Chains A and B, each alone.
Chain A
Amino acid sequence: MDIKRTLIVCLSLLFFMQFFGQGLETQKKFALPENITFEDFIVVTKNQEHFNSFYHSSYLYFDLYIDTDEKDLYEMGYSLRFRKRIFNDSITNYTFQLKDEMTLVKEIRMEIEEKELDFYNIKQNNKWIPLTHALDTIFNLYSKLSNKKDSISFHKNLSLIKEWIKVKSSGAIAPFQRLRYIDSLTFNDNKIKSFVPVLIGNSIRKRAHIYIDSTYTVNEKLKFNRRIKANTPLFFQENLNFNWLFESSLDYSTFVYLKNNETIIIKEYEVENKFINPEKGRDLLKKYEKIMTGNLGMYIKYDSKYKQSIQYFNSN
């Protein structure tokens, strides 16, 4: 590569970093070998060489993916979803997220979130009802449409979601703002208005902190990952000798394609860099990747759950 080309690549990379500067995460995604159970995986990953995992929470996620009938977002490498999170069977929150795909050369994913949906309402029969009520109904009913009444209610609430998207297409909703910024011609008002729910499902997620101890930290001349208290998990506030590197998610997901009710199951393990120095964090993540692939027979994958699902349904 000549100097000019190298320079252009560097500048493009810099531009890219600035462009997506608001919501970046560095992560690795692994496919689990078929023969390993979740329970075994948790036991094995608790201590892997210098890397330790502390499994701290169970999350239940419900996702409703949105796209055009022509799958424009999928084709362009994006996924857009409403997500309901239930933390340890108690706290619930709702978000609306736009993500792009990770690739071999791009381990940084854009993630743009409308973080609170609680104050948005949809109009139904001249009454304002919370957007989250419609989502709740959809997520409660999608897996058990056993009778006509449930089916009607489910589809009625899907229509409300479509209506909300139409009303808000030109509004200050973070994913729509970013889509307009990415390509205002492609993602014009009419295009966003045409977004409809395409995929629904849930994921059971086991979250873990991945850390090293103070001895390894000192030996490797690393700094302690110090963040503001609000962003420091209790585990690390109580265990000052442990150095927080990553967060991991072990997922078991089931998705239903709304077009034909086909189902897909996805099992995967995601590791997200949380280290205070992103460069060092990336190096450590590479080390961890080697251990995971070498010791546990896992392999790297890049596609989002949305992409995997649509690819699967398209091929069937």
Chain B
Amino acid sequence: MLRHLTLLLCTMICCVSLSQEKSFSFLLKDQIPLISNYIEDTSVSINTLRKVTDLLTNRDITHVNGIRVAKRRKAFIRHIKHLSEKLEENALDEIKINDTILNLIIELEYLKQSIIEKSKNNLAPFPTKKQKVEMSKNTIRSKKLMQYSILPTQEKNANNSVYWKQINEKKHKEFKKLSKLKDIKTKKEMVVIFKKLSYTGSAPKIRTYDLNLDDEWSLKWGDEVHTDIAASRIFAAVGYDVDHPYCYKNGKLMLIFDGTTSINNWEQLKDSIYHIYNINLEPFMLKKGVIDQQMVLANNNLSYYIGDEYVTFIKCGIEARPDRVKRLGTFLPNKLYNYKRLELRGALLLHAFVGNWDTRKENTLLTTVHDGNYNYNVSAVFSDLGTSFGVSFSFIAADFKVGLVNDFSWEVVVKKKNKICIKNPINEFSNSYLNADYNDLRWMAKKILALDSLTLRKCVSKAKWPYPIEELYFNKLASRRASIIKSFGLDDPNPISYDRNLTIIKNGRTIIKKGKLIVDYKKNDNPESFKKKKGRNRNYGY
């Protein structure tokens, strides 16, 4: 009884303070009853706090309820201890719960639940047959589910949170701004060192070290090396945190085998990738050789690797794994009342804008970002946005292919009578997507409206598609943007022109005709193909 009264009192205190338009990185007022176990006699319960902190920081606790607890890295443990210590002092001083304390508690709860989710996912990293069927079902019923009755207009505004931040100007620079915060440094010519093979995901990839040996990169090949880049930059321009993928072509990325692992050369790598992913990397290889003195003269950083084998590629993608960023589990889209967040509901329309199909919660992340001074900021990340820009799927083979420009429709939203219909199938509906309504999507439509021509052009050009493909994607994005703006009845002060009958002729050969790619463009330079729909028997992602 006393506990309930206490909780009621705390809720009332906090509701008053939260209603005063204060915004918190984590806390929503609905979440307060969920963390009542952290509260004892109107103060922080030291017993609960220590139990949670112990679970998150004690590496001798290896299992919880029979599940192996995911690896808790040093930086994560350090952040939990900082957080916990602040709360302990409040508890020992018997300070009455206030919204700042609640925000710290809920941050701890997020980190706990994300680690638990990661632990559960580690237990079953590959989708079960049932989950695959569910993905197919969702894909089919997307059209029906994504019809929204037009409601009386309600101007909604999201507060800055761990999930989203308002971007007011220079949206095209936001991706770079985020990368600076994470201390991600790319070069025009990258050199990476083989670290280990990867066994997850469907696209072939490996883990590599940066030449500075502090940071790591995930090196990938295949149909996502352009799409992920454009989609991630568009999400960043709207205010979401993302992964940091980059595309390297024409041998601008060199992979070195430094002889410290069991994979010492290109042949061994190629065989291993074929064994794991059933994919032949040979068409992606440009040059192989041994690091010699001449190469060292051109790049002194290679001196450490004289005599080691290397390989360069026609085309590949790298995704940053900076030392400053520690990846936890999902960002909990279906927990802690996150479905109420406007910034998560609205994201459904942004997925549709870039044509993303794989919206599973596993493609979201909570991360801790070290600010360089032993302080950590938690950030929610939309990860793996590469299954976009024209996706073809086969339900029978559980296969899919992405980046098929002809499958990327000119319109993504249409208004039919009193409904808004989104034309983008997705494979999972989180609670926030299921609960999204017209005004939530309208909020996002306004964010997409704010993406100007420069931003879209920059996002597309960074993906390094060949010129005719880039041009077609730019025109289609402008057209999709216009379809969103029109459907929601918004005024567009800066319309972006596009040509649905775009035709591009190169060296006397028609590449794009009336808005359609008609040739398998430069097959040798683009082994993944922008036309062929056959995937790689990806088994729906695994």
Contacts and interface: CB of A to CB of B under 8 A. Distances in A.
Contact of A228 (B213, B258, B259): B213
A121 B89 contact: yes
A293 interface: no
B213 A227 contact: yes
A9 to B, nearest CB: 24
Nearest to A229: B213
A171 B50 contact: yes
A170 B89 CA distance: 15
Nearest to B82: A119
Contacts of A170: 50
B60 A178 contact: yes
A123 B92 CA distance: 9
B60 A172 contact: no
A276 B59 CA distance: 23
B259 A167 contact: no
Contact of B81 (A172, A224, A229, A240): A172
Contacts of A240: 303-304
Contacts of A115: 74, 78
A128 B54 CA distance: 23
A119 B80 CA distance: 12
A230 interface: yes
How many interface residues does chain A have, given as a range? 20 to 34
A190 interface: no
Q: Is the interface of A mostly helix, strand, loop or mixed?
A: loop
A167 B78 CA distance: 20
A119 B60 contact: no
A116 B53 contact: no
B214 A226 contact: no
Interface string B432-467: 000000000000000000000000000000000000
A287 interface: no
B214 A116 contact: no
B377 interface: no
A128 B86 CA distance: 12
A177 B60 contact: yes
B456 to A, nearest CB: 38
Nearest to B303: A240
A216 interface: no
A260 to B, nearest CB: 35
A172 B53 contact: yes
A224 B303 CA distance: 13
B85 interface: yes
A124 B227 CA distance: 59
Q: Which of A22, A223, A226 has the most CB of B within 10 A?
A: A226
A227 B214 CA distance: 9
Contacts of B50: 170-172
B60 A226 contact: no
Interface string A128-142: 100000000000000
A276 B213 contact: no
Contacts of A116: 78, 81, 374
B494 interface: no
Given A22-B59, A116-B374, A228-B214, A276 B260 contact: yes
Interface string A107-120: 00000000110011
Q: Is the interface of B mostly helix, strand, loop or mixed?
A: helix
Contacts of A177: 54, 57-58, 60
Nearest to A170: B50
A181 interface: yes
Interface in B37-84: 50, 53-54, 57-60, 74, 78, 80-82, 84
Contacts of B304: 224, 226, 240
Interface in A206-226: 223-224, 226
Interface string B374-404: 1000000000000000000000000000000
A188 interface: no
Nearest to A114: B81
B331 interface: no
A232 interface: yes
Nearest to B209: A228
Contacts of B54: 172, 177
Interface string B176-219: 00000000000000000000000000000000010011100000
A224 to B, nearest CB: 8
B107 interface: no
A171 B214 contact: no
Interface in B86-140: 88-89, 92
B89 A172 contact: no
Contacts of A276: 260
B60 A167 contact: no
A227 B85 CA distance: 33
Nearest to A116: B78
Interface of A: 22, 115-116, 119-121, 123, 128, 167, 170-172, 174, 177-178, 181, 223-224, 226-230, 232, 240, 276
17 contacts: A22-B59, A115-B78, A116-B81, A119-B85, A121-B89, A128-B89, A171-B88, A172-B53, A172-B57, A174-B57, A181-B58, A181-B60, A226-B213, A228-B209, A228-B213, A232-B213, A240-B304
Interface of B: 50, 53-54, 57-60, 74, 78, 80-82, 84-85, 88-89, 92, 209, 212-214, 258-260, 303-304, 323, 374
Given A120-B85, A123-B92, A172-B53, 8 more contacts: A22-B60, A172-B57, A228-B323, A229-B212, A229-B214, A230-B213, A232-B213, A240-B303
Top 5 A-B pairs ranked by shortest CB distance?
Answer: A181-B60, A172-B53, A228-B213, A229-B213, A177-B58
